[in-house]
A and B are shown apart, each in its own frame.
Chain A
Amino acid sequence: MHTTEPTNDQIQSEKIYRQMGLNDEEYSSVVELLGRKPNLTETGIFGVMWSEHCSYKNSKPLLSLFPVDGPDVLQGPGEGAGVVDIGDGYAVVFKVESHNHPSAIEPYQGAATGVGGILRDIFSMGARPIAVLNSLRFGPLSGNAAAKRTRYLFGHVVAGIAGYGNCIGVPTVGGEVCFDQCYTGNPLVNAMGVGVLRHDQLQHGRAEGAGKSVIYVGASTGRDGIHGATFASEELNEDSDEKRPAVQVGDPFMGKLLIEACLEVYQSGALYSVQDMGAAGLTCSSTEMSYKGGMGMELNLDLVPQRAENMSAYEIMLSESQERMLFVANPGREEEIFSICKKWDVPAVTVGQVIEEPVLRLNHHGVAAAELSLVAVCGSTPVYQRESIIPETVLNRQKESGLDWDVPEDLTDVFKLLIQTPELASKSWVYQQYDFMVRTNTSVRPGSDAAVVRVEGTNKSLAMSIDGNSRYVFLDPKTGGRCAVAEAARNVVCSGGRPLAITDGLNFGNPEKPEIFWQLEQAVSGMSEACSYLNLPVVGGNVSLYNETEGEAVYPTPVVGAVGLIEDNAYTTSQFFQKSGDVLFLLGETKEELGGGAYQQMQTGKISGMPPELDLEKERQLQQAVLENIRRGNVVSAHDLSHGGLSLALLTSCTEQMGISVVLKSDLRPDVVLFSESQSRILLSVSEEKESEIVSSMLQYKVPCVQIGKVVKERFEISFNGTKIIYSELNLLRDLWQNAIAMEMEFSV
């Protein structure tokens, strides 16, 4: 049995509201807004709804910088996920969501419910989920005291994503994984969901029309995940393990049934509106739906299906139990909804109704458990303009040289070491645990720049990618922000897609620290610039702050999910070489830019100097040129140059049989040419007869273009100014590259 709840006075005098995430000023404004002291349930509701996770109170002023509109945007930020038109009466729905803190303490469930949560955002919009991607960050897999735990976190996060995604039957088609010391205590787990709907299936989350039934659908409510959103909005510390009960537990089987039941309910026309119960569960869905509709809602909590005994109103409202949705039914159509849900074995029960008065009214055991003005809860969220300071350390680090070592004697050896760093090694150990083929629409699998998924019922495909290089952002947040957007779009272009829009996941430290807020401000400003220049509206996203352990923040880590439209399946392109004899072109300019790069990190164990610069006009020209040539059928393979530069791009374009013979000439150092991470560069392979067409087309677009060699069978050789600098059997290199992560995971002690 639970103990008696604190009284309204105790909540104030003992400052119990602080445990629910409200600070003293916020609590005072709650009292002022209500004209009285809130009870425990009410305090909890304000606590979650005013958390950063739900209210964006620290990031709102910055997020308003993002361009959100575009000719194809059907739904921007504000609903479950963004929606963009793709023609033929179809639209794509996508969004990224973080599950960092849950994954830090309970990696399997934390990651699994991250996938479940983002999928509910997608199908709550009316779409069938067609793909999941993820962006992961961990500490180093070996070499420090925490490495064993890091391997545990990494292994279980991957298993959690696999366990949920594979079972629910949505392919996990792509993503990225990076490793750095700064993520040791606070790994990042961002999941991106993508769905497709017909325009007439688009759902909304507004509760309108007094008297309409409010129906609770899905799994029963338990004590898991209570105050998860608040937990997500504070720093991790040694007590965080005690927050394990704040982590939700996922049931992908129920998730699968819920998807099918919801999609069938949408088809029936019996539904008026819907929102998923994600962060802040029943609280967030009921208050947001009513507030958006300009109405109120009355709920009888006794009717809410419960899996634990004697749950209090506070627990019911704050639980983040998974696989639950809130429906508002069209009048008189409730029975249709019940019968569809029954067919799928999904519980569905009327728990209340929409009311005229704009309040949330909760009844529990026959008494009023809460009565809150929705204007107070949803319309009076505090907004903070945080202080921002450029840290001295950043300026000093930028002044350091990015290259203060001599050219290594044996570059083949250096290359072999570099391709085995977990950062650059093949991620096949990860993605082979994901079913990336289910639904049989995946035409480009994980391992290429962007994954490509066909849109059933059309001759079109969607290219999708998620990216972000936090080392660049750490060195210079503004440039890093621009690079993140540009790279995500470039990946999509390399697959033959016209980038439509992006979704962003902003993972930063504590915004109350001026130097952290400076990072956030600069990164968002860089991202906005790139989005405006490249015509990429931001249609939704997620902000995860307070990613700190014992006061140390992670690198500022904005990740960008981009989706592009491939207008004809025939344009679908991957990064992989196809035919021996094909000609290799390097597009773009290579400069001495090693700052924040994988080579610098390996050589010096740290990062310094400035990150690669990004000229948005050059980027746009490059993307247009490559897309145009792909559409003309001039391109066999296209690969964006990123981590590890040209040498890595060459290796990762090779297949079991297809290698390269490359001849480089330059005034730069050979290691710079191999490993520089200069932006706006793409590697193409084209058939011999298209060679001259590529050259003249690139001239037209003013894109620097050099023929650097050919695709050959089974060898991997690069010469520089007449000397061979990398020479190896292709299979040897590929084995090292492909097995490195498995070796770390299975043989590290």
Chain B
Amino acid sequence: MMRCAVIVFPGSNCDSDLYKAANSVEGMEAEYLWYTSESLEGYDAVLLPGGFSYGDALRAGALASQAPVLKALRRAADSGVYILGICNGFQILTECGLLPGALHRNSGLRFICDTVNLEVVNTDICFTSGYSRGAKQIRLPIAHGEGNYTCDTDTLRKLEDNAQIVFRYSGNNPNGSLAGIAGISNSKGNVLGMMPHPERAMAEWMGSSDGRILFESLMMRT
């Protein structure tokens, strides 16, 4: 059984979606963990949900990156625990430095909720191995106001050289992201941050089931 912690910050609002999604995958068991926890012992994966932690005060993810659980999160990342940050979770991961770059306001200056086409650029990490079997073009929902990824040229080169760009918007770039980046990993591949919401694409009735493959890949840990 793979044990996952869904971290709940004040203002997280996709925590229950992530909890439901993870628990719907056979072999995966998720539980909520409050942001004040100081230990992540015993968890194989840590899931940072979307939402508006601390109401996006200062900058999206800025205050959550100072929350007590973040110390434990850094240790967990070092020791190879799988960490997935979705939407606000991705913003928290860049704010705390576990992933490089930053997420700016969408180029259109408006919040966007839609389902978009994505290319799975790297299918070699534990989160995406399942996509290598089928088409690498997938559809996932997005819902964010600040998903415009940016970083300096050196960082971009490193991301490209190390195959850390995991998802790219395919066709239309909805938010002006640099190089169409929708999701990146750390160099070891155990930390993934992404703006699209795989937990919102778990079954056909939701409009897409392409997100399920991500959770199933993680569960397989290949």
* CB-based contact B52/A167 at 8 Å: yes
Q: Does B58 contact A (CB under 8 A)?
A: no
Query: B91-99, B107-115, B130-138, B185-193: which one contacts chain A?
Result: B107-115
Q: A256-B11, A432-B112, A433-B110 are in contact. Are A439 and B17 (CB under 8 A)?
A: yes
Among A418-444, those with CB < 8 Å from B are: 431-440, 442-443
What B residues does A466 contact at CB under 8 A?
none
Among A681-699, those with CB < 8 Å from B are: none
* CB-based contact B197/A167 at 8 Å: no
* CB-based contact A251/B55 at 8 Å: yes
Q: Does A162 contact B (CB under 8 A)?
A: yes
* CB-based contact B113/A253 at 8 Å: no
Report the minimal beta-carbon distance from B170 to chain A, rounded to whole angstroms.
Answer: 16
Number of residues from A at the complex interface, CB < 8 A: 30
* CB-based contact B206/A440 at 8 Å: yes
* CB-based contact A443/B13 at 8 Å: no
Question: Considering only CB atoms, which chain A residue lies closest to B206 in the complex?
Answer: A440
* CB-based contact A257/B11 at 8 Å: yes
Report the minimal beta-carbon distance from A457 to chain B, rounded to whole angstroms.
Answer: 11
Report the minimal beta-carbon distance from B10 to chain A, rounded to whole angstroms.
Answer: 6
What A residues does B202 contact at CB under 8 A?
440
B111: contacting residue among A166, A344, A440, CB under 8 A: A166
Q: Does A159 contact B (CB under 8 A)?
A: yes
* CB-based contact A439/B16 at 8 Å: yes
* CB-based contact A437/B141 at 8 Å: yes
What B residues does A433 contact at CB under 8 A?
110-113
What B residues does A167 contact at CB under 8 A?
11, 13, 52, 55-56
A256: contacting residue among B13, B197, B199, B207, CB under 8 A: B13
Q: Does B54 contact A (CB under 8 A)?
A: yes
Report the minimal beta-carbon distance from B44 to chain A, rounded to whole angstroms.
Answer: 23
* CB-based contact A440/B199 at 8 Å: yes
* CB-based contact B113/A257 at 8 Å: no
* CB-based contact A256/B52 at 8 Å: yes
Among B143-158, those with CB < 8 Å from A are: 143, 145
What B residues does A434 contact at CB under 8 A?
111, 113
Interface string of A643-664 (1 = CB under 8 A from B): 0000000000000000000000
* CB-based contact A435/B55 at 8 Å: no
Q: Does A569 contact B (CB under 8 A)?
A: yes
CA A641 – CA B60 in complex, angstroms? 43
* CB-based contact B111/A169 at 8 Å: no
Q: Does B67 contact A (CB under 8 A)?
A: no
* CB-based contact B14/A169 at 8 Å: yes
B110: contacting residue among A159, A256, A435, A439, CB under 8 A: A159
Report the minimal beta-carbon distance from B8 to chain A, rounded to whole angstroms.
Answer: 9
* CB-based contact B111/A253 at 8 Å: no
What A residues does B199 contact at CB under 8 A?
440
CA A437 – CA B143 in complex, angstroms? 8
Centre residue among B11, B13, B51 by max chain A CB count within 10 A? B13
Report the minimal beta-carbon distance from A260 to chain B, rounded to whole angstroms.
Answer: 9
CA A168 – CA B199 in complex, angstroms? 18
B143: contacting residue among A251, A254, A435, A569, CB under 8 A: A435
* CB-based contact A440/B55 at 8 Å: no
Question: Considering only CB atoms, which chain B residue lies closest to A345 in the complex?
Answer: B10
* CB-based contact A432/B17 at 8 Å: no
Q: Does A252 contact B (CB under 8 A)?
A: yes
CA A443 – CA B143 in complex, angstroms? 16
Centre residue among A162, A432, A437, A443 by max chain B CB count within 10 A? A437
What B residues does A432 contact at CB under 8 A?
110, 112-114
A253: contacting residue among B16, B50, B57, B114, CB under 8 A: B57
Question: Considering only CB atoms, which chain A residue lies closest to B16 in the complex?
Answer: A439
Q: A440-B17, A440-B21, A440-B200 are in contact. Are A253 and B54 (CB under 8 A)?
A: yes
Centre residue among B20, B56, B112, B145 by max chain A CB count within 10 A? B145
Number of residues from B at the complex interface, CB < 8 A: 30
Among A570-628, those with CB < 8 Å from B are: 572
Report the minimal beta-carbon distance from B1 to chain A, rounded to whole angstroms.
Answer: 23
Question: Considering only CB atoms, which chain B residue lies closest to A166 in the complex?
Answer: B111
Among A531-581, those with CB < 8 Å from B are: 569, 572
* CB-based contact B113/A437 at 8 Å: yes
Report the minimal beta-carbon distance from B136 to chain A, rounded to whole angstroms.
Answer: 21
Centre residue among A163, A167, A251, A254 by max chain B CB count within 10 A? A167
What A residues does B16 contact at CB under 8 A?
439
CA A256 – CA B56 in complex, angstroms? 13
What A residues does B11 contact at CB under 8 A?
167, 253, 256-257
Interface string of A153-170 (1 = CB under 8 A from B): 000000100110011110
CA A168 – CA B114 in complex, angstroms? 19
Interface string of B41-64 (1 = CB under 8 A from A): 000000000111011110000000
* CB-based contact A436/B113 at 8 Å: yes
CA A253 – CA B13 in complex, angstroms? 10
* CB-based contact A252/B17 at 8 Å: no
Question: Considering only CB atoms, which chain B residue lies closest to A436 in the complex?
Answer: B113
Question: Considering only CB atoms, which chain B residue lies closest to A343 in the complex?
Answer: B34
Q: A166-B111, A345-B10 are in contact. Are A437 and B52 (CB under 8 A)?
A: no
What A residues does B197 contact at CB under 8 A?
437
Among B85-127, those with CB < 8 Å from A are: 110-114
Report the minimal beta-carbon distance from A198 to chain B, rounded to whole angstroms.
Answer: 16
* CB-based contact B13/A438 at 8 Å: yes
What B residues does A251 contact at CB under 8 A?
55
Report the minimal beta-carbon distance from B146 to chain A, rounded to whole angstroms.
Answer: 11
Report the minimal beta-carbon distance from A116 to chain B, rounded to whole angstroms.
Answer: 13
Centre residue among A252, A344, A432 by max chain B CB count within 10 A? A432
Among B171-222, those with CB < 8 Å from A are: 197, 199-200, 202, 205-207
Interface string of A218-260 (1 = CB under 8 A from B): 0000000000000000000000000000000001111011000
CA A252 – CA B205 in complex, angstroms? 29
Among A255-275, those with CB < 8 Å from B are: 256-257
CA A569 – CA B203 in complex, angstroms? 13
What B residues does A442 contact at CB under 8 A?
206
Question: Considering only CB atoms, which chain A residue lies closest to B15 in the complex?
Answer: A169
What B residues does A166 contact at CB under 8 A?
52, 111, 143, 145
* CB-based contact A440/B113 at 8 Å: no
CA A436 – CA B112 in complex, angstroms? 10
Q: A252-B52, A440-B199, A443-B206 are in contact. Are A169 and B13 (CB under 8 A)?
A: yes
What B residues does A431 contact at CB under 8 A?
113
CA A319 – CA B56 in complex, angstroms? 26
Report the minimal beta-carbon distance from A630 to chain B, rounded to whole angstroms.
Answer: 16
CA A572 – CA B21 in complex, angstroms? 22
Among A432-485, those with CB < 8 Å from B are: 432-440, 442-443, 445
B51: contacting residue among A162, A169, A437, A443, CB under 8 A: A169
CA A433 – CA B52 in complex, angstroms? 15
What B residues does A436 contact at CB under 8 A?
113
What B residues does A569 contact at CB under 8 A?
205
* CB-based contact B111/A435 at 8 Å: yes
Question: Considering only CB atoms, which chain A residue lies closest to B109 in the complex?
Answer: A159
30 pairs, CB–CB < 8 Å, chain A vs chain B = A166-B145, A167-B11, A167-B13, A167-B55, A169-B13, A169-B14, A169-B51, A169-B52, A252-B55, A253-B54, A253-B55, A256-B13, A256-B52, A256-B55, A432-B110, A432-B113, A433-B111, A433-B112, A434-B111, A435-B113, A435-B143, A437-B113, A437-B143, A437-B197, A437-B200, A438-B13, A438-B17, A440-B20, A440-B21, A440-B206
**Extra pairs beyond A253-B56, A432-B113 (19, CB < 8 Å):** A159-B110, A163-B111, A167-B13, A167-B52, A167-B55, A167-B56, A169-B13, A169-B52, A256-B13, A256-B52, A344-B10, A432-B110, A433-B110, A433-B113, A437-B200, A438-B14, A438-B17, A438-B50, A443-B206
Which residues of A are in contact with B by a Cβ distance under 8 Å? 159, 162-163, 166-169, 251-254, 256-257, 344-345, 431-440, 442-443, 445, 569, 572
Which residues of B are in contact with A by a Cβ distance under 8 Å? 10-11, 13-14, 16-17, 20-21, 50-52, 54-57, 110-114, 141, 143, 145, 197, 199-200, 202, 205-207
- Those 6 A-B pairs whose CB atoms lie nearest each other, nearest first: A169-B13, A253-B55, A167-B52, A440-B17, A435-B143, A433-B111
